Amino acid sequence: MDYELVVKNGLVVLEDGQENADIGISDGIIQAVESGLSGRQVIDAQGKFVIPGGIDQHVHLEMPFMNTVTSDDWETGTKAAAVGGTTTLIDFIDPVKSKSLMDMVKERKALAENRAVIDYGMHMALIGGVPAFMDEIPAVVEAGIPSFKMYSTYASKMSDAEMLKAMAVIADAGGMAMVHCESDAIIEYLRTKLVAEGKMSPQYHPVSRPEDAEGEAVERVIALANHAGAFVYIVHVSTAMGVEAIQRAHNRGQAVWGETCPQYMVLTEQEYQRPGFEPAKYLCQPPLRSQPNIDRLFQGLAERTLLTIGSDHCPFFYKGQKDIGKDVFTKIPGGMPGIECRLTLTYTYGVVPGKIDLNRWVQATSTNAARIFGMYPQEGCIRVGSDADLVIFDPTRSGVITKSMLHENVDYTPYEGVAYQGLPVMTIARGEIIAKEGDFVGANHKGRFIARKPIQPVE
Ligand code: DUC
Ligand code: ZN
């Protein structure tokens, strides 16, 4: 039998093991994983890995934030993701007080439709001071959006009391809480103090968001979730304190999932020592950390305290957006681009030096997100019956990252000059080749909204 497309001779990375096998694809679905397959179109993956398409569960496309909007939209952001080996992403709906959550679901879906080139889901963010949102949570879960982001700081923050209540409602509705954990009290105290002392340059940003601001908030949010009986997912863990709080919860038997991001694994707080306004390029919340924290994040991934690696792609132009805060660091829009380099960076700095193995890498960049966020086994694995979302990854490619090789709509990359070993050389989405050798080639491919299932326990 001839399949529409066969990927031959690659090392197929499965959820647990690896095998040399061919993959037969028809109708956008994986039909066979075995040797000796034939197809009308054949791709030779000899010497390369064939991995499940990356899933990036933490992305901010055209998000209004700090008086501006992230610079990648649904088209440019999903194209960059595709070239970088991501075939599914989950973005956020950021509500405004005056609208209903379900109206915002409709609006956001309309924005993505016809522009996204890879499949996408959505998380719903909640904001403090709007009790009416609570009543809509079950309808949002029903609409295929079972994950709710809450912030412990920023203007949209929720108080502990609000968060506890929301967690209980979310748990009843079959959803999960995802929380940005940084202590608002510590940050506000330090920001006010630094500004009063005239310490306004971006070099002071990390001073205003110390490690214990994260550690304290992770601990507290886990306690709230435990009380509410809610699944909780801690986004962008950047510190050893955060990892250890999650580990303690696991030791008590609590369902807590932890995520980290490439920027916290590859870049260090040294970037904030750059001269002038340059540190603004690296300004994100939480900030970049020290090497011992980085080591603990890798250990956390290896021992499964942390289960996922998301990009937290949140791009702003250095010229024209970051400089909104040229007079005071508290006004610099925080966030950095990273949707396109997620696989190559984590392979280079995780798998190549042996800090995580090939399976752990695939689990953390794809499979675990599918399981946690209710998309498995349609996504996140190479199995008969799953979507034919695949990446051919060449471990022999090496070089140095430069802005000119990337497709993100932003005027810099924080990874300029960073060495890489291993690159995605082909991305296949539902059986169509959409990226090849660093170019987007999927002009006719349309991304689809993935209505996700209610949340289930995941070990
Ligand atoms: N962190 C960022 O760096 N940007 C946007 C939101 C966030 O939490
Ligand atoms: Zn984020």
Give the Å distance between the CA of 174 and the centre of ligand 2.
23
Q: Give CA separation, 271 vs 186, 187, 192, 202, 276, in Å.
A: 23, 20, 23, 11, 12
Q: Which residue has the tokens 């471990």?
A: 395
DSSP assignment letter at 287: P
Tens of pLDDT, residues 420-445 = 999 999 999 999 999 999 999 999 99
pTM: 0.98
Q: Does ligand 1 have an atom closer than 6 angstroms to the CB of 180?
A: yes
Residue nearest atom 1 of ligand 1, based on CA coordinates: 285
Please, what is the average pLDDT of the chain?
97
Q: Whose CA is nearest to atom 7 of ligand 1?
A: 285
Res. 307: pLDDT tops 80: yes
Average pLDDT, stretch 55-62?
Answer: 98
In angstroms, the CA 247 to CA 256 distance is 9
State the pairing for strand pair 308-309/54-59. unpaired
Query: Residue 10: what pLDDT?
Result: 98
Between the two ends of the chain, the Cα-to-Cα distance in Å is 38
The pLDDT score that the predictor gives to residue 458 is 86
DSSP 258-269: EEE-HHHHH--G
Give 211-259 pLDDT, tens digit per residue. Answer: 999 999 999 999 999 999 999 999 999 999 999 999 999 999 999 999 9
Predicted confidence band at 457 (pLDDT cuts at 50, 70, 90)? confident
User: What pLDDT digit, counting tens, does each position of 328-356 carry?
Assistant: 999 999 999 999 999 999 999 999 999 99
* Token digits of residue 148: 């709710």
Q: Is the pLDDT of residue 1 over 90?
A: no
Q: How far is the CA of 22 from the centre of ligand 1 (A)?
A: 40
Enumerate the β-bridge partners of residue 122.
Answer: 91
Q: Looking at the predicted structure, is the pLDDT value of residue 459 above 80? A: no
Tell me phi and psi for residue 217, to 5 degrees: -70, -40
Distance, CA 314 to ligand 2 centroid (Å)?
A: 7
- Inter-axis angle of helices 240-252 and 211-228, to 10 degrees? 20
287 lines ligand 1 (CB under 6 A): no
Q: How many Cβ atoms from other residues are within 10 Å of residue 338's Cβ?
A: 29
Bridge partners of 287?
none
pLDDT at 112: 98
Residue 314: its pLDDT value, please?
98
Angstrom distance (rounded) from CA 16 to CA 145: 28
pLDDT at 16: 86
Residue 264: which pLDDT band, with cuts at 50, 70 and 90?
very high
Alpha-carbon torsion, ordered 302, 219, 211, 197, to 10 deg: 160
Ligand 1 close to Cβ of residue 285 (< 6 A): yes
Q: How far apart are CA 70 and CA 93, in angstroms?
A: 13
